[in-house]
Amino acid sequence: MANSHSSFLFFLLSFVLFLCDCPKKVEAAYRFKEKPANLHPQKHDFAISSLIPGKVCSAPTEGPKTISRLQVAYKYGPCSPMKRGNTTTPTLHQILLRDETRVKSIHSKISNQHSLVSDPAVELPANSGESLETGDFIVTVGFGTPKQDFRLVFDTGSDLTWIQCLPCSGQCYTQKDPYFNPSLSSTYSNIPCTSMACSQLESATGNAPSCSGNCIYQISYGDNSYSQGNLATDTLTLSSSDIFPKFKFGCGENNNGLFGYADGLLGLGRNQISTVSQTSHKYGKLFSYCLPSTSSFTGYLSFGKKAVASSGVQYTPLLTDSSGPSFYFLDLIGISVGGKRLSIPTSVFKISGTIIDSGTVISRLQPKAYSIFRLAFRRAMARYPAAPAYSILDTCFNLEGISTVTVPTIVLHFGGGTDLNVDQSGILIVANLTQYCLAFAGNDAATDLAIIGNMQQQTMEVVYDVEGGKLGFGPKGCS
């Protein structure tokens, strides 16, 4: 009888709402029944040993057969083409010090007064360097006629591409390959001071060019590394079918700093002189990459519309900021830990803005957002004993004697309904055999730019559709 009475009341309520022309209210009242409580898994269970790189390079990541690929690898790992027998892998403390100088350099370039506005394929495998130069990733490209191969750090936070060149009139640091000799290339040419390309240098490097008939570039980095030399053109070769005559680059004759044995840098920023812009007639300002989970795996760097391998890519708008036009700005709006959305006001993320950067290792969050995020993560990890802070990492755990660990999932939410589900390899970083730390850090000030670092991008296919004004994340791009 009670059930009949309840059914009658429900029918009566629905009929009244229908007469009031309120069907949307009925839908809203019962919509919660259609959605699961959690849209993402709550935890990862994995072996601690999976966070520790192997000593042997695993088989390269397989990709679509129709795409030629540039391989990406960690610079000092077993897959790196830069590996030398006497190379010493830097400690995590050294890596974090270098990472902090990079972050401070990026922060110094941004005014923090944001006015954000929406704005055929070749793949290169990516090798990552656990080095003093942060988590640098190496790709191999060709310069000159005849072509000579060079191993370059690729960097979405830089614009100018440069390599070390003879006669090294100032100084050149030791590199793996022979220095580029312009006199042996039939297609090499210096760019004069009066050219438009020379006038673009200041916005690309932060330094006005100097002149000696030829256009002289100079670029310095946050750790006091630098390169200086002739702005020039020559043939850039990415594959046998992807050749770019008169590519503008820096032919560095005075270079020094923490570049390891890399031959130079491949700039993937948004400036007119960047590789992305110079190859836009063929690739449409579209590229993607996948960064491997450890140094014993490889990833890839791809260019062009056919470079998107995953069918499950979610896109979020790329934003433009006048104070940092070369960086890739995103609309970070929230964070979930263990399947639960944290109570962080969206306005917290708007104060500083957010970029994604291939050269920063540890993601940086606004102080308030990080405080709430850190507390939620610590609570989810309460079963494990706390360990002392390590450098900039203040949330660490003693996992001595533990073979399998359970960590909460971390999801970064972006505008447009796009989520970055951080891979388990990007949640904890190994300080030593017993101490494991959360691979995030807080910024000093609320106005400091938030940065999505490369650890949190690991194993994801990250798609930069610059011309289309969007950036995407696809799952399981590489190991």
Question: Which range has highest mean pLDDT (19-28, 85-94, 95-104, 281-290)?
Answer: 281-290
pLDDT given for residue 276 in this prediction: 96
Strand 435-438 with 396-398, pairing: antiparallel
- Chain centroid to CA 463: 10
Percent of the chain with pLDDT strictly greater than 70: 82
Amino acid at 434: T
Question: Is residue 228's pLDDT more than 50?
Answer: yes
The number of beta carbons lying within 10 Å of the beta carbon of residue 8 is: 10
CA distance 304 to 359: 22
The pTM for the full model equals 0.86
Q: If pLDDT is split at 50, 70 and 90, which confidence band does 111 have?
A: low
Torsion of CA 46, 385, 396, 372, to 10 degrees: 90
410 DSSP β-pair partners: 337
Does 478 score more than 80 pLDDT? yes
Q: Which residues, at least 6 apart from 16, have a Cβ–Cβ distance to it below 8 Å?
A: none
pLDDT at 7 exceeding the cut of 80: no
Over the stretch 383-442, which tens digit does the pLDDT of each residue have? 999 999 999 999 999 999 999 999 999 999 999 999 999 999 999 999 998 999 999 999
CATH 2.40.70.10 domain range(s) in the chain = 67-90+120-305, 312-474
Structure tokens given for 475: 């799952």
Which segment of 101-115, 156-170, 396-410, 431-445 scores lowest on mean pLDDT? 101-115
Give residue-wise pLDDT tens across range 197-211. Answer: 999 898 888 889 998
**Which CATH superfamily includes the segment(s) 67-90+120-305?**
Acid Proteases (2.40.70.10)
Report which of 430, 428, 437 is spatially closest to residue 397, judged by C-alpha positions: 437
**pLDDT score of 126:** 55
Residue 289 has pLDDT above 90, yes or no: yes
Mean pLDDT of 334-359: 96
- As beta bridge partners, residue 47 has 404
The predicted pLDDT at position 60 comes to: 61
Q: Is the pLDDT of residue 17 over 70?
A: no
Q: Has residue 25 got a pLDDT over 60?
A: no
Evaluate if residue 119 carries a pLDDT over 70: no
Domain 312-474 class?
mainly beta
**Neighbouring C-beta atoms of residue 26, cutoff 10 Å:** 13
Q: How far is CA 41 from CA 197, 337, 476, in A?
A: 50, 10, 16
Instruction: Give the pLDDT confidence score for residue 41 in this predicted structure.
Output: 79
Residue 23 has a pLDDT of 37
Q: Which positions ≥6 away from 108 have C-beta within 8 Å? A: 222
Least confident of 84-93, 145-154, 344-353: 84-93
CB atoms near residue 109 (< 10 Å): 14
- Specify the pLDDT at position 220: 85
Q: Is the pLDDT of residue 14 over 70?
A: no
Q: Residue 61 has what pLDDT? A: 55
Q: How many CB atoms lie within 10 A of CB 240?
A: 9
pLDDT of residue 347 exceeding 80: yes
Alpha carbon of 337 to those of 96, 350, 352, 412: distances in Å? 24, 20, 22, 9
Question: Which residue is it, tokens 């830097």?
Answer: 90
| Cα–Cα distance measured from residue 406 to residue 425, given in angstroms and rounded to the nearest whole number | 12
Q: How confident is the model at residue 78 (pLDDT cuts 50, 70, 90)?
A: confident
Q: Range with the lowest mean pLDDT among 125-129, 149-153, 366-370?
A: 125-129
Q: Which of 67-71, 425-429, 466-470 has the lowest mean pLDDT?
A: 67-71
Active site residues: 155, 357
Q: Tell how many helices (H) and how many strands (E) occur in the chain.
A: 9, 33
Stretch 222-245: mean pLDDT, rounded? 91
